[in-house]
Structure 1
């Protein structure tokens, strides 16, 4: 009786875990942006801005047209000015790319393309306060491209977009299901009558 209850519990747990795995949507890719005011391709304190870049799906290395990234979101504040995708100024997402590369322990990304927008960058913005912002275009220097500028202001500097490599939660559920199945199998063998008696 105890064996049957335990086996039923294990099978139920494995089926539930596999159901969750099958219905669990892919984790969103998420990068943290940081900005400084040194125009030298190296992020140097003090940090003068932060933001997030995200899209649906797992992080993969490569070059991706921004218009192909599902649920793309980009929000950042630099030198007291906030920007988002609604502030694009003449930039086309199909003319700009996101380049994702691996780094020690994670990923880095930068925007490429251009001239694309009113400031001829890879991605250009103008917010409600009429402050402009442009990410470095590909023609300006060899990659990686980590510079930005706020046209008409003294502000220009370096930005980074980084993400830590984190296994998807579904992976942990899969490992748990396999482990639970192994425990059930071991328990079943232990409780089974010996054929040698």
Structure 2
């Protein structure tokens, strides 16, 4: 069973309207603040990027459907702050106490933001998992699309690509497996591949049947065709 966030390729949700070229980076001032507080909280070291993604995915379907993009971010963050004991519900309601927080020494200071963002968070890691597929090989994605480690857990295999036949385009090396990392089970790095799929393999009536879609997929999402 997929969750409400897995909307890629779904029919009936209306057209995608690209932003105009000269549109502001943030439509409203609070969007920038939501992004800033989410990034700053991540630097406290209490979770990783996969945990934070899963927190947004775990919002109730009713809330997920009605929230805007940054409302999802700030709501997922609020859940994480409470779940990890960084703040309490009372803190969120009242603004917290005036004294220093136990994690205050880890805070990301303003003069370090640019360097921290430029550095990013690379997810490539050495791995003992053997490379199973070669460039040009035909593969099939696992079906159904879901976390094989944690029931209902985080995964990066979209539902629309589940059970689809594709071709290995290239090997990206070995990277942290989100299905494990999102649940505190270790990084479990494994090979990740760029896999190319014909549009006709993914959708019943593609607008352009000769189009191709390239997805970056972990080895455990794939089987030999």
Q: TM-score, normalised by structure 2?
A: 0.22
TM-score after normalising by structure 1: 0.24
Task: Report the structure, 1 or 2, having the larger strand content.
Answer: 1
* Greater share of residues in helix: 2
